Structure 1
Amino acid sequence: MNNLTIETKPLIAQNILIVDDHPFIIQGYKNAITRYKPDEYEFSISQAKDCQSGYEIITNTESPVFDIAFLDISMPAYDEEGIFSGEDLAKVLMQRMPNCRIILLTMYTEILKIKTIIKTINPNGLVIKNDLTFDELLYAFDKVIKNEIYYSQSVLAMLSQMQEVTIEIDQFDKTILFQLSKGTKRSEISQYLPISSSAIQRRMDDMKVLLELKEGTDEELVRVAKSKGLLL
């Protein structure tokens, strides 16, 4: 009687990075990942709670090369290294581990912000957190691990409206917003542009109307411009 030996394929090792400032969300991601095809994959998961700890893991020479990274966009900043969001961490990852597939997660629902994220990062996955369920997370992970692109339903809905978005500003407006965000006084912005102070004021007034500001202050202009992706 012949003895039959059943050959089993070795598990595919995958190094996963999760960066989020909410521990229960990290645990949810880990629960989903470890249940994904356990007969095919073996996952090693590293985690961080903010921009600083995420940056330190990514830049640590002893860290593994990550295959997939889940990055929350809004997290406590790491001012010393100029890392203010998950987008900034994604840029560091793209430089150091160009083959890492990046999934960005956000509460942002502004069309222009989503457009900016896609343009600057072009992530493998982009998820509005309100869309996320356990099953949806598994589906997103399945798509990304197969080198496919995954956008959650709200992202897809916003992308379908992109052609209707008409808010556009030129380089002069962007310079004005940038200087305001740095704390430059309105009267001093003309040092950075070849236009008069009165022209700068008109442009600021036009942007406030365009963005439908409620308060009309310079601080609100900067805040809303950031939320809409007009100021990075």
Structure 2
Amino acid sequence: MKTQELKILMVDDHPMIIEGYMHTLMATKKENQSLTIDIASDCDSALKAMKKAKSIGVPYNIYFFDISIPESSDGLYKSGEDLAKRVRMVEEDAKIVILTMFDEVYRIHDIIKTINPEGFLIKSDLTSSELASAFQAIQNNPPFYSGTINKILRKSLQNPITLDLINHKMLHLLSLGVKTKDLVKHLDLTLSAIEKRKKNIKELFFVEDGKDETLIKIAKEKGYI
């Protein structure tokens, strides 16, 4: 049986988590798989490893990106999400696995839309067996989504309302208690544009009393928050 040589970069700023991932993959790999695993703890060290791999003509086959890692010193890459977007643009054959503690609906939809990762795992869902299953699945039958991701996607598919990223983020911020007048600090929009969007969203969700509280309640029930 031909040996499958896989070069992997794991990016996470928690050493114990990285160690756990590495141990799981090495312990559960198939007999014909040979794994070379490099690690990085921030955007700068990840970029350095990626550039080195490319310079020697042996790029990574699989990337594991934690979303929340220290940004690059030049400020161009602020998260693992930004690194994943870079890989998606310049390395067509590479497979990407996103790992995160975040479970905000709008962020999950945005990552799937912009990165379309072969694997998407919420850390609170993650067990050793699920990581092992995800690792094999992304090579043979991607994508592999953990339970929380699948639950969010199933719920959104049951509802016909389509929201763009800005409206989705607006709902999320309102659910956190951000006032309408303060949304201008979080969104690249004028107050009048925000108020117009919010009015349209309320019409989409049939908010008859016009209250933000009612909008948030309905949006949560339908799986948009």
- Report if TM-score (shorter chain) is over 0.5: yes
Aligned length: 193
Q: Which residue of 1 aligns with 2:185?
A: 180
Q: Is the 8 A contact 2:106 2:165 kept in 1?
A: no
1:19–1:204: structure 2 CA closer, same or farther, 3 Å change rule? same
Q: Is the 8 A contact 2:9 2:37 kept in 1?
A: yes
CA distance, structure 2, for counterparts of residue 165 and residue 110 of structure 1 = 19
CA distance, structure 1, for counterparts of residue 74 and residue 146 of structure 2 = 33
Q: Is 1:44 matched with 2:25?
A: no
CA distance, structure 1, for counterparts of residue 182 and residue 136 of structure 2 = 40
- One of 52, 62, 81 as aligned partner of 1:68: 62
Q: Is the 8 A contact 1:173 1:203 kept in 2?
A: no
CA distance, structure 1, for counterparts of residue 42 and residue 99 of structure 2 = 14
Letter of the aligned partner of 1:49 in structure 2?
S
Q: Quote the offset at 1:125 in angstroms.
A: 0.4
TM-score between both structures, scaled by the size of structure 2? 0.72
1:38–1:169: structure 2 CA closer, same or farther, 3 Å change rule? closer
SS in 1 for 2:17: helix
TM-score between both structures, scaled by the size of structure 1? 0.70
Q: Quote the offset at 1:180 in angstroms.
A: 3.4
Q: Is the 8 A contact 1:111 1:162 kept in 2?
A: no
Q: Is 1:127 matched with 2:132?
A: no
Q: Quote the offset at 1:108 in angstroms.
A: 1.3
Q: Is the 8 A contact 1:58 1:93 kept in 2?
A: no
SS in 2 for 1:103: strand
Q: How does 1:110-189 map to 2 (within 5 A)?
A: 110-163=104-157, 164=159, 168=163, 180-181=185-186
Q: Quote the offset at 1:148 in angstroms.
A: 2.3
CA distance, structure 2, for counterparts of residue 133 and residue 172 of structure 1 = 33
- One of 10, 30, 55 as aligned partner of 1:18: 10
Q: Quote the offset at 1:38 in angstroms.
A: 4.9
Cα offsets for 1:18-71 (capped at 9, x unmatched): 000111111111101112335211111111001221122223343631111111
- One of 22, 28, 32 as aligned partner of 2:24: 32
- Any unmatched runs of 5+ in structure 1? 1-8, 191-196, 213-227
Q: Quote the offset at 1:166 in angstroms.
A: 5.1
